Structure 1
């Protein structure tokens, strides 16, 4: 199984199905090995103290694995998150986007499992890591 989308096609499809967050995320790179996504950090993503909020980093992890699943299965927007583990390692650097590097650990008929490592743009220090599991609905 190859890729169902290239970067432009994946971004366009995600913008179509999730217009409410289209301005928050970008796909920087996509290959069979994985995906690199970006949270375009804005004032709304910050919490007191000037750091990126946990819910914003959760959203980045979630959308990263969702995009990975779509990149393999194509335009099937029905997969849903069934489990998440998220470890916060250090405070993200202020004023920088968060970069997520994701890879699929398993893509089966009914479940997909992905791993995501998040960094402040320009840094190699891990700010968070997540494992996400998605349920893939059966074909009808």
Structure 2
């Protein structure tokens, strides 16, 4: 995914992970399940280390687990590019499932399409398996809380 030089991150992957673990500890429960692996200008990559708890019958990573991965990818993008305000929230998320994903790493490559003062729009390509095929594609919007006004 090409970098967008006009969108510079303000947090790196380690800082995003630390913020998520502090603000949203129930996501991983102390385990590295959903992890930001890379932050770059205009996007990020988030990984789900899918194990048996993420599987539905047929040894397939469940739709809710993949949906969560796409949502966490958007959250990592907004945190890393708009700033460390944990109160950013999902406004919309659409996902299309393409093919089966089995247990193991599933990577979500996110790209910011528009970053404004109050909204961020992104898309996500979720890839898995030895051939790294697309298993799902998502688009979403995050609301960015207003910055506090300086009184004076």
Q: Same fold (TM over 0.5)?
A: yes
In the alignment, the residues of structure 2 paired with residue 15 and residue 41 of structure 1 have an alpha-carbon distance, to the nearest angstrom, of 18
Q: Is this contact kept in 2: 1:112–1:135, CA < 8 A?
A: yes
In the alignment, the residues of structure 1 paired with residue 137 and residue 123 of structure 2 have an alpha-carbon distance, to the nearest angstrom, of 7
1:119 aligns with 2:114: no
CA shift in 2, pair 1:106/1:16, >3 Å: same
Q: Is this contact kept in 1: 2:88–2:144, CA < 8 A?
A: yes
In the alignment, the residues of structure 2 paired with residue 137 and residue 34 of structure 1 have an alpha-carbon distance, to the nearest angstrom, of 19
Unaligned runs of 5+ in 1: none
RMSD of Structure 2 on Structure 1 (CA): 1.3
1:136 aligns with 2:137: no
Say how many residue pairs are matched: 139
CA shift in 2, pair 1:14/1:121, >3 Å: farther
TM-aligned CA deviation for residue 128 of structure 1? 0.2
> Of 103, 108, 113, which residue of structure 2 is paired with 1:95?
103
Q: Which deviations, in whole Å up to 9, do the C-alpha atoms of 1:48-87 show, x marking residues without a partner?
A: 1110000000000000011000001222011111111100
> Of 27, 32, 35, which residue of structure 2 is paired with 1:21?
27
Moved more, 15-24 or 45-54: 15-24
> Of 41, 45, 50, which residue of structure 2 is paired with 1:41?
50
In the alignment, the residues of structure 2 paired with residue 79 and residue 8 of structure 1 have an alpha-carbon distance, to the nearest angstrom, of 19
Q: Any runs of at least 4 consecutive aligned residues in structure 1 with deviations exceeding 2 A, and if so which?
A: 121-124
In proportion to residue count, which structure has more helix? Answer: 1
In the alignment, the residues of structure 2 paired with residue 135 and residue 30 of structure 1 have an alpha-carbon distance, to the nearest angstrom, of 20
The secondary structure found in structure 2 opposite 1:113 is strand
The secondary structure found in structure 2 opposite 1:20 is coil
The secondary structure found in structure 2 opposite 1:129 is strand
Unaligned runs of 5+ in 2: 1-6
